[in-house]
Structure 1
Amino acid sequence: MRTEYGKLNKMEMGIWECCELLNDVIDESDPDLDEPQIEHLLQTAEAIRKDYPNEDWMHLTGLIHDLGKVLLHPGFGELPQWAVVGDTFPVGCAFDKSIVHHKYFEENPDYHNSDYNTKSGVYSEGCGLNNVMMSWGHDDYMYLVAKGNNTTLPPAALFIIRYHSFYGEASFTIPTLIDIDSNLYIEPMHTKYCCSIA
């Protein structure tokens, strides 16, 4: 999916037009949200604006952080919810027991692959999240859209977009410099604007 959707050839539109596509989308994986995604985007951006009035890039990041959910829309292939929403997690290493529905990984061939089922798996310990392949979903898609369109958002914004659905801990998450800067913002995004950390 990453290769297919990384081509960025499904549709061309502005930010607000994309927000409007989410008017009828409800993320079934999020028990905290029983509202259309467009409302969630606007509420997130407004809450961030109140707390960080001088950080324009954060307001925009709050507005666009979930735009990757357009993958649920027919114009983008109408992917099923399980392929677009929910928590993200690293692949290529053991599945952390904190991942929701962890028991279902036992049916995944990677679960039994000795190269992948150790704590660090194919990664070097302390390599930083930017060097880890994450499961596919709306976060990674929006990250690819921003990068593929030469965004002027700062690296911290891209980090927030890419990892806002990742709640796990693992040995490779020892921070890199960009992780340290971005984590100043990701914690408030998780706890205050997106959803609560379990």
Structure 2
Amino acid sequence: MRNLGATMIQTPLETVAYVDPSEHLRPEPVFAAKPVGTFRDYSIDLNDPIKERVRKTYLDMHTNQTVDFVQAKVAHWTKFDKFKANIMTALDKLNALVDESDPDVNIPNIVHAFQTAERIRKEHPDDDWFHLTGLIHDLGKVMAFYDEPQWAVVGDTFPVGCQHAKSIVYRETSFHNNPDTFDNRYNTEYGIYEPHCGIANIMMSWGHDEYLYRVLKHNNCTLPEQALFMIRYHSFYPWHSGKDYMHLANKKDMEMLPWVLEFNKYDLYTKCTDVPDIEKLKPYYQSLIDKYIPGDLEW
């Protein structure tokens, strides 16, 4: 795997450090009619409403995502008593959601779901489970319709309970009001964790990845292990692209890492304004839902 460093972007207002995964993940010089170098642009421009929306979302996230906060959210959401719905019904909810952490697109999340799935289907035609994984990977964002602020739903994830890594988006400017930053239990390299304890044994910032993973496990979905791992960690950019937190990963995590990187190629570079014919595609994806995640689920 190519080791990716942090890129520095100089704007008229501020210099921002962020991880650019495009060196590793880019499939071609131009993807979805957009140069790959323009994806995940987290530069600060106070006059750009989308960039300001993104910056403020991450500021709120990095201020509030603490060990105590995550533990409370896990307890709240893993009662699975919020609503019952099948996958397609839940997916239709995303037609009303625009991800406030996304600097690349400003369109409903359901479009991104079908864009991702269709690109995977084209390049992995025999792996129907992979097609379905692409379709549902952001489905945990339905939390936003049940009184959860977007900073606790969307965006890149990171571990709580240990030092905040350098490759986290806006790392140098966004954690100064997070109490865990100054708590000696949580601000060292290992924090509350043991070396190579495994990512599954780490508390991640609360968001749609962890929530959907837990929903699928609770409802006995039959997607393969690599699909569940991709869903759970596709937003963990500081690890899979920044190469931070390797001191906490174990052998199993490293075996799964190529799958996460393969998935993120489609998750990231399919974002564009070209809208697929969703209604035409639904019967195919419904057949996959019936195969792997049938019926009404407890959310």
| TM-score normalised to structure 2 length | 0.61
Once structures 1 and 2 are overlaid, which stretch shifts more, 62-71 or 120-129? 120-129
Match of 1:3 among 64, 67, 75: 75
Residue 176 of structure 1 is matched in structure 2 by 251
**Could you give the per-residue CA deviations for residues 16-73 of structure 1, whole angstroms, max 9, x where no partner exists?**
1011011011101111122211111111111111111111111111111000010111
Matches within 5 A, 1:47-58: 47-58=119-130
| CA distance, structure 2, for counterparts of residue 91 and residue 66 of structure 1 | 21
- SS across alignment from 2:237: coil
Residue 191 of structure 2 is matched in structure 1 by 121
| CA distance, structure 2, for counterparts of residue 175 and residue 47 of structure 1 | 30
| CA distance, structure 2, for counterparts of residue 20 and residue 171 of structure 1 | 37
Please say if 1:185 is aligned against 2:265.
Answer: no
Higher strand proportion (structure 1 or 2): 2
Matches within 5 A, 1:35-184: 35-73=107-145, 77-102=146-171, 103-168=173-238, 169-177=244-252, 179-184=253-258
| CA distance, structure 2, for counterparts of residue 34 and residue 6 of structure 1 | 30
- Say if 2:194 and 2:248, in contact at 8 Å, map to a contact too: no
Query: Which structure 1 residue ranges, 4+ long, deviate > 4 Å from structure 2?
Result: none
| CA distance, structure 1, for counterparts of residue 161 and residue 132 of structure 2 | 32
Q: Percent same amino acid among aligned pairs?
A: 50
RMSD over aligned CA atoms reads: 1.4
| CA distance, structure 2, for counterparts of residue 98 and residue 129 of structure 1 | 17
| CA distance, structure 2, for counterparts of residue 172 and residue 41 of structure 1 | 32
| CA distance, structure 2, for counterparts of residue 21 and residue 95 of structure 1 | 33
- Specify the code of the residue in structure 2 equivalent to 1:68: G
Residue 194 of structure 1 is matched in structure 2 by 267
Which protein has the larger Cα radius of gyration, Structure 1 or Structure 2? Answer: 2
- Specify the code of the residue in structure 1 equivalent to 2:156: D
- Say if 1:123 and 1:172, in contact at 8 Å, map to a contact too: no
- Specify the code of the residue in structure 2 equivalent to 1:67: L
| TM-score normalised to structure 1 length | 0.91
- SS across alignment from 1:71: helix
How many angstroms does 1:114 deviate by? 1.2
**Could you give the per-residue CA deviations for residues 91-126 of structure 1, whole angstroms, max 9, x where no partner exists?**
110011221232321211111111211111111111
- Extract unaligned runs of 5+ from structure 1: none
- SS across alignment from 1:195: helix
